[in-house]
Structure 1
């Protein structure tokens, strides 16, 4: 979403509105095309960039969902409690780094380093996957190698590509930006459906852990190569780079942006709860393992998220980006509270598809919302990185406890999401 300032010669030809905040009356999500004559709003290069960014999300954030498959392998072979705790940290550190590294990668895109950042991130992603294939999950001494490769290395690699893949779309779209970004982030949901099924069959089948991970890494490498060939930046970097200090100062004085950052942090606390614990909740309520894994975690939840992310871009064109975010937040909160009454396969299916659709739509709109609230287009990448970096952590499991007191965790998760809606309305 980062759109660096045009060059000096280009700026002379462009109207003043290109470098000024866009003032929108009425529907805030609709931008007058006359305000952005430099945006192609389509074409082979623009949609090729969207497809490439879609593949980056498919191979990056979408691949993080396979941790459930790896976790079963780690817990199944490791007999020491200390190692089990370390295995739990792998997924948490990975998720933290994916978001926090955006502080660096988002700013690098603003400075015109999109291609180097993407190439380094993609190469590291393949490298650390191959390193992971060298580990033996049934050995105690291998825990450090697994943690370094999958938790730290793989998290940094995806973090380098995550924000830039969303940011670059703003080089080609303004009026259709929300719709294009919705398509891009839908790649993560599709990856969350396909990668776990594929890897589960690979490493638990004839290939085994090492060859299964290598086969997966080969597929990821090929898709990332295609993505790098498709993605293109359009605008040159700002002739004189704006310091990060100035970006932080301007952002700290923007009340609406601060409310969005705090609101997103509050939302993420509840967002991860259903994604992490719906499968366990359904299993403990007597539902079959096959239904819990394939139908809940993959087919229903992530399919709903995929559709929701695509639909959010269309809905926002009619009701506005802020209204779409607020509505999605409130509805997803209501669905979270419904987990208290979970008791059958039908109720699990309704909760999974409802939450996936609403939460997916909200996630799809966070990028366009940050872009909408950023008056200087050279700050978009940095602001997006800041917002993602301070996102909340999945701490709802602490309320669940080892006795599985579901109502406490559900109430905490469900109450955190209306806080985001309130902050957005206030901001």
Structure 2
């Protein structure tokens, strides 16, 4: 629910941010996020979590995410990929750290106190972030009127090539993230719950480093080239490693390698959009491109679960489905790459 709402609402808030400035929307997003976490502490029914951590957190993410990923491209040109990667890597690092904090606090403190404390921690860091973030616009910059459906994008085959790359990539992206603890527990039932979930934490930590380092590489070889390599490697890692691992060392190796490549399409998307279309409408374009993530965000992992059930618990069927869809995404991107820059060895 959160992912679906974030994807849809990002289109709106990204364009509003380009038109009216980022700071009001960042403040509103921070307030919505803290409210959702604090309200979650008092939830007692499942439907209440759908409202707090689904609807409200989805709105909070939509208010913040397309603006956050657009800011580095305004400040940096030469190191645009690296800086955007560092920004988006924060979500992986924060996910790894917060999951460990939650696990450490839940048993001794209980659910309610844990979420109240987490809400306070989130509020503290969001206040700091609000005062650290600033737009950078060229002298004489005038904010353009909102164009909700910019037909110049929809008429451009390059836009559709990039969009379908994200569409297929997202379908294969979430299956390991959702199911790796279950996969580990099934393959190695003697493990404790902590060890069964540890690969997912390692995956998140690896994703933080991967988004940063791949961003650094993107500044050398070009963001479009880097996006192709990252998506292709993400798919191949699932297809050639996850399909065959059965011991704990292999699962950990997969978590490290897949984590390194899997989320790079999120961190590279603003740099790729800026390379293809410039940075003037980047937040709005970033929100528009997130539209292609909606099907995968909402149904990618459930499709993997349905395949697992239909195949009688065959994990290889899940890894082949996820890996192949990402390889298709990398292949679709080649049109945009060679349409804008036909030379193979050129940084683009």
Task: Output the TM-score relative to the length of structure 2.
Answer: 0.89
Contact map agreement 1:321 1:368 (CA 8 A) in 2:
yes
1:401 pairs, out of 309, 312, 318, with: 309
TM-fit CA distance, 1:318: 2.0
The structure that has the greater radius of gyration is 1
Contact 2:34 2:119 (8 Å CA) reproduced? yes
Say whether the 8 Å CA contact 1:110–1:381 is kept in structure 2.
yes
**Cα gap change, 1:240/1:121 in structure 2, threshold over 3 Å: closer, same or farther?**
closer
Contact map agreement 2:36 2:52 (CA 8 A) in 1 = yes
Of the three residues 216, 231, 239, the one matched with 2:133 is 231
Residue 154 (1) aligns with residue 62 (2): no
What does 1:280-319 align with in structure 2 at a 5 Å threshold?
Answer: 280-287=182-189, 288=191, 289-294=193-198, 296-298=199-201, 300-319=202-221
- Whole-angstrom distance in 2 between the partners of 1:371 and 1:184: 16
Match of 1:352 among 229, 252, 255: 255
5+ residue gaps in structure 1? 1-92, 137-141
RMSD: 1.7
Deviations 1:113-144 (A, max 9, x none): 311101111011111211111113xxxxx222
What does residue 166 of structure 1 align with?
Answer: 69
Match of 2:97 in 1: 194
Contact 2:223/2:271, CA 8 A, preserved across alignment:
yes
Residue in structure 1 matched with residue 113 of structure 2 by the alignment: 211
Give the Cα separation in 1 of the matches to 2:290 and 2:265.
14
- Tell me the alpha carbon deviations over residues 247-268 of structure 1, each in whole angstroms, 9 at most, x when there is no partner: 5201112211211111101001
Find the residue that maps to 1:157 and give its secondary structure: helix
Which structure shows the higher helix fraction?
2
Q: For residues 3-402 of structure 1, what are the structure 2 equivalents within 5 Å?
A: 93-136=1-44, 142-205=45-108, 207-235=109-137, 239=142, 241-245=144-148, 247-287=149-189, 288=191, 289-294=193-198, 296-298=199-201, 300-337=202-239, 338-375=241-278, 377-391=279-293, 392-393=296-297, 394=300, 395-401=303-309
Give 1:239 shift: 3.4
Report the Cα distance in structure 2 between the residues aligned to 1:319 and 1:274, rounded to whole angstroms: 28
Contact 2:69/2:267 (CA < 8 Å) preserved in 1?
no
Change (3 A) 1:240 1:158: closer
Q: How many residues align?
A: 325
CA distance in 2 between counterparts of 1:102 and 1:238 reads: 23
How far apart are the structure 1 equivalents of 2:146 and 2:127?
32
1:407 Cα offset (Å): 2.1
Structure 2: give runs of 5+ residues left out of the alignment: 337-348
Do the aligned residues in 1 keep the contact of 2:236 with 2:327 (CA within 8 Å)?
Answer: no
Mapped partners of 1:220, 1:184: distance in 2: 17
Q: Equivalents in 2 of 1:390, 1:100: separation in Å?
A: 10
Tell me the distance in 1 between the aligned counterparts of 2:47 and 2:264. 37
Q: Distance in 2 between matches of 1:340 and 1:240?
A: 50
Q: How far did residue 240 of structure 1 move?
A: 5.8
Q: CA deviation at 1:276?
A: 0.9
Q: Secondary structure at the match of 2:217?
A: helix
Structure 2 CA distance for aligned equivalents of residues 276 and 148 of structure 1: 21
Rate the CA distance shift 1:304–1:373 in 2: closer, same or farther, 3 A: same
